[in-house]
Structure 1
């Protein structure tokens, strides 16, 4: 995608878009972060906490904490991970997959404690690419434009680099979100459109009723952030404002709309392949998927002995039925009527 221009050139806007990134993490989060840093070793650059625990958007105590783990290079990070966590996937497999379709997602669990983390692992170079207009998909930006916590950085230089990436993500939301905005919108409906657009770009178990939960949980942080962004767009004659209501002054060309639509279609295809990587890399991947469907879609799945023993052979019919009937798909069909 081509940006309007680099909005982060404004130091005032950049500072405003950092709001909430330093919000305090819970003791449980910090215990997991300490373990994450230990497991990935000296290659660890930063840890970003995102998702339902960071947002306080209905996470259950037993659900995994979500992290982006930023590393210098994949090879030493995955070798350290394998040495620390024991048998599982080969480090060489993770390294190859990370270079083909970043990020990889791996599971960690605190020894002898009921705390587990779901870690999306990115090199700093890949983080910078995936938070720029050169990104090939929406996986990373679709998570980082929401409320996140920068909970650990190795040093001042690392902190500056990761903060710059997070600010870029927030500034870029108008570039990819503008085709999906209503004719007139306030800050809340702007953030809602971003969430709905991002959810539609992936295969997820949730219906759109998850979006109001996220709006309520993140409003205190993200409404001020995107108020500052929209005010900047008004000041630079990109948006018009009447009270609390905004509208676009210049509308996208048909070619730009097509470009953004293709970006999200490609993103959804790549998201589908990421589910296949779960099988190769995510410890207890089948249990994780079943629990997530139960938690987010309200569907309790009882696997047969054959499905548990040979899921790649016997789980396909059930998976296809769920993809066809999942709440997200039903909500989208209803909205299209």
Structure 2
């Protein structure tokens, strides 16, 4: 391990082991049931600001896809286009906590963290602050740490190649997140990258130099600004590759949305919660609708439309 890797690990270990609200540990325990994955990673807006009325994002990392209960068709879908996603809610200390959970294997996570990956989905998420809220053993923790480090170095490498000039360290990351939001066809505007950075400038600034060193990038520093030493040809090659990745990424995310229509477990409950959260109206589900959201989707959408119309009419 290089000195730069050690410097990164010092920062990342502190983040991964930072305590979270105890209710989240209870929530994860209830989600897992008897399953024993390699680890559970917590990230996203719920980590940046705890909101018991919001949605918490978790990634369950498995040794094998067969370690998580799923139909053969769902496992095949997860093998071809990871991750599979599902929604869960549990009452914890009198408060209903809700979660969106993604499931994938350690091998899939490692592949998505690599600079060779053509998909930005994983490294763009896990270069951000992450908490390890459940882990099977120290060996799994060490492996997850190394993969999170790879996400950071991959992200930092792309940040260096996609911008020019000299900038304060944190500005390289802000520009990168604008790029990743556009590449992933996210519903949020690309300005969302600035939201991710809020209150985290010092964190990203501290990561920049060791991450570039770990990625094998030399750089210059002048007056608080840093500039990687890259030729015009290197930047052009990176730009061309990024454009190819972005085009494929948009189609890949469309495919994921289509896949989610068939594999998103408890999708009807998620839809009902979103409607209630954003409109204040309750979309009550029958037991059949809750069990068969895809079959009932047209009816659910029609009922949701009536709810919104009634709300607009007072």
Which of 66, 78, 84 is equivalent to 1:104?
Answer: 84
Q: What pairs up with 1:2-151 in 2 under 5 angstroms?
A: 10-18=4-12, 19-38=14-33, 41-42=35-36, 44-56=37-49, 60-79=51-70, 91-110=71-90, 113-151=95-133
Which of 208, 213, 222 is equivalent to 1:242?
Answer: 222
Distance in 1 between residues matched to 2:82 and 2:148, nearest whole Å:
17
Does the Cα contact within 8 Å between 2:86 and 2:100 map onto a contact in 1? yes
Q: Which residue does 2:158 correspond to in 1?
A: 176
Q: What pairs up with 1:213-232 in 2 under 5 angstroms?
A: 213-229=195-211, 232=213
* Range that drifts further, 93-102 or 257-266: 257-266
Shift of 1:141: 1.2
Aligned residue pairs, count: 288
Distance in 2 between residues matched to 1:24 and 1:246, nearest whole Å:
33
Which secondary structure does the structure 2 equivalent of 1:110 belong to? strand
> Is 1:187 aligned to residue 187 of structure 2?
no
Does the Cα contact within 8 Å between 2:161 and 2:238 map onto a contact in 1? no
Q: Which runs of 5+ in 1 are unaligned?
A: 1-6, 80-90, 319-337
Which secondary structure does the structure 2 equivalent of 1:78 belong to? coil
User: What RMSD, in angstroms, separates the aligned Cα atoms of the two structures?
Assistant: 3.4
Which secondary structure does the structure 1 equivalent of 2:69 belong to? helix
Shift of 1:97: 0.5
Does the Cα contact within 8 Å between 1:147 and 1:222 map onto a contact in 2? no
Distance in 2 between residues matched to 1:78 and 1:291, nearest whole Å:
24
Q: Which residue does 2:310 correspond to in 1?
A: none
Q: Which residue does 1:267 correspond to in 2?
A: 249
Does the Cα contact within 8 Å between 1:20 and 1:221 map onto a contact in 2? no
Which secondary structure does the structure 2 equivalent of 1:61 belong to? coil
Does the Cα contact within 8 Å between 1:184 and 1:245 map onto a contact in 2? yes
Cα deviation digits, residues 215-263 of structure 1 (max 9, x gap): 1143354332235435x479x7621110211123223253332122212
Which secondary structure does the structure 1 equivalent of 2:100 belong to? strand
**TM-score of the superposed pair, with normalisation by structure 1:** 0.74
Shift of 1:313: 11
Shift of 1:301: 11
Q: Quick one: structure 1 residues 24 and 103, their matched pair in 2 at CA, closer, same or farther if it must change by over 3 Å?
A: same
Q: What pairs up with 1:240-319 in 2 under 5 angstroms?
A: 240-251=220-231, 252-285=234-267, 288=270, 309-311=296-298
Q: Quick one: structure 1 residues 312 and 194, their matched pair in 2 at CA, closer, same or farther if it must change by over 3 Å?
A: farther
Q: Quick one: structure 1 residues 152 and 310, their matched pair in 2 at CA, closer, same or farther if it must change by over 3 Å?
A: closer
Does the Cα contact within 8 Å between 2:170 and 2:202 map onto a contact in 1? no
Which secondary structure does the structure 1 equivalent of 2:156 belong to? helix
Shift of 1:48: 0.5
* Range that drifts further, 219-228 or 139-148: 219-228
> Is 1:201 aligned to residue 183 of structure 2?
yes
Which secondary structure does the structure 2 equivalent of 1:183 belong to? coil
Of structures 1 and 2, the one scoring higher in RCO (CA 8 A, sep 6+) is: 1
